[in-house]
């Protein structure tokens, strides 16, 4: 099998879908790996590091020529895949609900698009799950970036000149990113509190030494929620949550929001009116800004100042940690394909549970159940 790795072309994308480590492992399975020259540059990986691992490097067309599998971080434009084998697999992020046109083009070209964001949340797929690996890094980066913008220190410091108070940090949405945000803010010495709609997160918040702030009088989502995902909440819950946030947020110095609902715009959790109650100099980092935002007025890749509060968020947070984000993304790809490697056939054979979950196009059609009628 020939596996091709292209340089990412999306604006602001710094990651790469394979590292020398994973290229070597794919080669160990009997494959040829072709990496586009400069593909790893933004992630501090040189062409010669790929070559040392046994990969070939060259221009996009020569890499893609006769490829059986193309690996990407963000799915490449179909035009770039000209020359790949008929029916070639392309494993990458496809943003499936927002990119119908691209999926139709993939179907028309006869490629099999495998969406890494549709990896099912089952135990055996954890090591293949790019949403988890990237969210974890994003949660960390949100806190250190917010810390950098905050004009004060995180930990309490008792000095000869007087005491510096500990920062108060509130994390809204305690999935993978939120848990890492809590852990990072704790490590930096902040006093941390957190909230979610899923009751299972209460124990997780407390086990990290943070304070759980929950809506008590209206029922949220019991336990983990379906597949660990939240759904849109009732109007009654939203009103109770808004009241709780209003009471809590005025005392916070930093707020990290990470609330997402799959296939929908992110829920708005902080209004302009609530921001106005915060102290000047406070910082809000909206990790959901690219999905519509949890914070009224947040804009991707900009620092918006409202009522003296800095509101910020990146359109692609993991891309701000290119080396680690690439290393984990590349391992997710390898763990995925190698788990299904049929040694005799010399290629991967996906099973129904994972294959049908991630496969978007095949045989000229859009085949994924989640996209039917979308
Ligand atoms: P996510 O990115 O979809 O959402 C982030 C968080 O926002 C979630 O915890 C969600 O409950 C919360 N949220 C949504 N609406 C909210 C609102 N209105 N107010 C407050 N919070 C709100 O979630 P995620 O980080 O991908 O993970 C969620 C869960 O899934 C976690 O428990 C995680 O451990 C689990 N998970 C399991 C696997 C696996 O088993 N393979 C993989 C990934 C995640």
Q: How far is CA 48 from CA 54, 325, 328, in A?
A: 10, 20, 21
Ligand 1 pocket residue status of 174, Cβ below 6 Å: yes
Ligand 1 pocket residue status of 135, Cβ below 6 Å: yes
Residue 261 has a pLDDT of 85
Quick: pLDDT tens for 173-191: 999 999 999 999 999 999 9
Q: Which of 154, 157, 180, 186 has the alpha carbon at shortest distance from 167? A: 154
Does 271 have pLDDT greater than 90?
yes
Per the prediction, the chain carries an average pLDDT of 96
Parallel, antiparallel, or unpaired for β 309-312 and 283-286?
parallel
Examine the residue annotation and report whether 126 is marked as an active-site residue of this protein.
yes
Does 17 have pLDDT greater than 90?
yes
DSSP conformation letters of 36-61: ETTTTGGGT--HHHHHHTT-EEE-HH
Q: Which residue is catalytic, options 129, 196, 253, 286?
A: 129
Residue 55 pLDDT grade (very low, low, confident, very high; cuts 50, 70, 90): very high
- From ligand 1's centre to the CA of 84, what distance in Å? 36
Residue 347 has a pLDDT of 94
SS3 79: helix
Ligand 1 pocket residue status of 175, Cβ below 6 Å: yes
Ligand 1 pocket residue status of 177, Cβ below 6 Å: yes
pLDDT (mean) for 235-254: 94
Q: Which residue is catalytic, options 44, 48, 98, 126?
A: 126
Quick: pLDDT tens for 126-147: 999 999 999 999 999 999 999 9
Global pTM reads 0.95
CA distance 27 to 22: 8
SS3 73: strand
pLDDT (mean) for 204-229: 88
Residue 374 pLDDT grade (very low, low, confident, very high; cuts 50, 70, 90): low
């Amino acid at each position: 099998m020939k596996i091709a790795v292209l340089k990412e072309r999306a604006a602001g994308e710094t990651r790469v879908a394979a590292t020398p480590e994973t290229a070597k492992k794919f080669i160990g399975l009997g494959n040829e790996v072709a990496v586009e020259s400069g593909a790893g540059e933004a992630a501090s990986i040189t062409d010669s590091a790929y070559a040392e691992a046994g990969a070939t490097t060259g221009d996009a067309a020569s890499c893609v020529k006769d490829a059986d599998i193309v690996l990407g971080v963000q799915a490449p434009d179909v035009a770039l895949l000209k020359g790949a084998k008929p029916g070639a697999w392309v494993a990458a992020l496809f943003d499936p609900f927002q990119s119908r046109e691209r999926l139709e083009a993939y179907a028309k070209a006869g490629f099999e698009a495998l969406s890494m964001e549709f990896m099912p949340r089952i135990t055996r797929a954890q090591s293949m799950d790019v949403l988890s690996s990237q969210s974890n890094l994003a949660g960390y980066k949100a806190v250190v970036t917010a810390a950098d913008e905050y004009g004060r220190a995180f930990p309490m410091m008792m000095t000869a000149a007087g005491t510096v108070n500990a920062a108060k940090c509130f994390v809204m949405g305690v999935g993978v990113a939120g848990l890492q945000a809590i852990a990072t803010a704790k490590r930096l010495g902040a006093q941390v509190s957190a909230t979610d709609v899923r009751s299972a997160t209460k124990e997780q918040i407390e086990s990290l030494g943070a304070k759980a702030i929950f809506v008590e009088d209206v029922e949220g989502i019991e336990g983990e929620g379906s597949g660990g995902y939240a759904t849109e909440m009732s109007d009654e819950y939203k009103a109770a949550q808004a009241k709780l946030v209003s009471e809590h947020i005025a005392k916070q110095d930093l707020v990290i929001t990470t609330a997402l609902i799959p296939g929908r715009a992110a829920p708005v959790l902080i209004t302009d009116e609530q921001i106005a109650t915060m102290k000047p100099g406070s910082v809000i980092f909206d990790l959901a800004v690219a999905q519509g935002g949890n914070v009224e007025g947040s804009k991707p890749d900009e620092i918006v100042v409202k009522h003296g509060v800095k509101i910020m968020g990146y359109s692609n947070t993991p891309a701000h940690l290119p080396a680690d984000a690439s290393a984990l993304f590349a391992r997710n790809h390898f763990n995925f394909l190698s788990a299904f490697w049929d040694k005799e056939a010399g290629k991967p054979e996906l099973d129904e549970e994972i294959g049908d979950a991630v496969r978007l196009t095949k045989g000229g059609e859009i085949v994924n159940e989640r996209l039917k009628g979308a």
